[in-house]
A and B are shown apart, each in its own frame.
Chain A
Amino acid sequence: MADTQIVQMLVKGQNDISWFDANFNNLLSEYDEQFIAFKDKKVLDSDPRLNRLMEKLKEKNINVSDVFIEFVSKIKHIL
């Protein structure tokens, strides 16, 4: 039997990724060249430096297990 917590995390995760994609241009205008932490279709915090963002999340007692952290930039990397 499927673990409902896992299913919920997966569905919410997909919804958050869809939100990120749909709102990328808006996020770019506000957070260009910054790392953003987002969950439940909301930006929780942001910072140009990843380690500072992690510190901010820790100070706010935010559990990062279901938070996405992505870098927002006009520049696309070729992988």
Chain B
Amino acid sequence: MTSLVDRIPLQIVEGRLVLTSVIECKQLRIHRQVMRFILDTGSPNSYFSYKDVIKLQIPLAGKNPSGQTDFGGSRFDQIPLPKVTMYILKEGKQSKDYYTVNVSMSALRTTKTSQKNIKVAEQLPSILGIDFLKEQKFSLHLILTEDLAYLQYEG
């Protein structure tokens, strides 16, 4: 039987899989901020949402996009970022502990100019895609009949 200490619990919020983490990145001047990510297996890549770019005060002005992506019905410029350190809680029998991982993320910058469309773009969450699972060697486990979801390290 798999040890509980190997599991990273996910929360199921409004029908979505949520990973709570603390992130930091010296190059982006982000010092230990709590963040909520949606685990989105429909996305090949991981992104900071436009809302979280604003909250984290990630400077994007003048940065050239590596491409564009459609997300949540809005079109965004994709801005590559330095790797971000992420701390995620492990599930242990005796005490709380965490994994430390370095994650490749891009920032999303809206291409919209109308206030109405900018507001829609701001509503979308940050997501961790398939690249996160592959890069960090995590498997995803869902037993929705038991309201159970978790990641497990397979390295």
Residues of A within 8 A of B (CB): 2, 5-7, 9-14, 17-18, 20-21, 24, 35, 48-51, 54, 64-71, 73, 76-79
Contact = CB atoms under 8 A, between A and B. Distances in A.
Given A21-B14, A64-B55, 20 more contacts: A2-B95, A2-B97, A7-B98, A10-B87, A10-B88, A14-B11, A17-B11, A17-B20, A17-B36, A18-B11, A35-B122, A50-B51, A54-B54, A65-B33, A68-B36, A69-B55, A77-B73, A77-B124, A79-B40, A79-B71
A48 B120 CA distance: 11
Question: DSSP class of A's interface residues: helix, strand, loop or mixed?
Answer: helix
Contacts of B13: 17, 20-21
B31 interface: yes
A50 B99 CA distance: 31
A24 B15 CA distance: 12
Interface of B: 9, 11-15, 18, 20-22, 31-34, 36, 38, 40, 42-43, 51, 54-55, 71-73, 87-89, 95-98, 119, 122-125, 127
8 contacts: A13-B22, A13-B36, A21-B14, A69-B55, A76-B14, A78-B72, A78-B73, A79-B125
Contacts of A18: 11
Contacts of B122: 35, 50, 71
A65 B96 CA distance: 21
Of residues A9, A12, A73, which shows the largest number of chain B Cβ atoms within 10 Å of its Cβ? A9
